[in-house]
């Protein structure tokens, strides 16, 4: 079987959940070898950061944006401070 093939959760001795769990924090960072120094993002910038990594946004942009809006409305988004 291909390494990235979909497998059922029980294959990994897991139990499938019945509901979504809440997101408490979103951390966006890139490893550059420097110590982590976080800065908060606004909900708008957090949305842009998340949508840039949402592969499903190409297939179903409305659903992806709705899910991301739900996340950034309740969970803080932080990123690693970098020189831009």
Say how many domains are in the chain: 1
Q: Is residue 64 part of a domain?
A: yes
Longest dimension (CA), the chain: 45
The reported pTM is: 0.70
Q: Is residue 10 part of a domain?
A: no
Q: Is residue 3 part of a domain?
A: no
Chain centroid offset of residue 8 CA: 22
Cβ burial, residue 50 (10 Å; 0-12/13-18/19+):
buried
Instruction: Please write the tens of the pLDDT for every residue from 21-45.
Output: 899 999 998 877 888 888 999 999 9
Q: Long-range contacts made by residues 46-49, C-beta under 8 angstroms, separation at least 24?
A: 46/72, 46/77, 47/72, 49/77, 49/79
- d(CA 2, CA 25) in angstroms, rounded, equals 32
Whole domain around residue 62: which residue ranges? 20-80
- Give the pLDDT band of residue 12 (cuts 50, 70, 90): low
């Amino acid at each position: 079987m291909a390494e990235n093939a979909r497998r059922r959760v029980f294959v990994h001795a897991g139990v499938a959940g019945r509901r979504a769990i809440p997101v408490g924090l979103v951390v966006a960072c890139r490893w550059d070898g420097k110590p982590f120094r976080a800065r908060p993002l606004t909900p708008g910038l957090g949305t842009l950061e998340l949508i840039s990594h949402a592969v499903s946004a190409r297939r179903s942009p409305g659903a992806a944006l709705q899910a991301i809006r739900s996340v950034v409305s309740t969970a803080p988004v932080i990123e690693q401070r970098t020189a831009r």
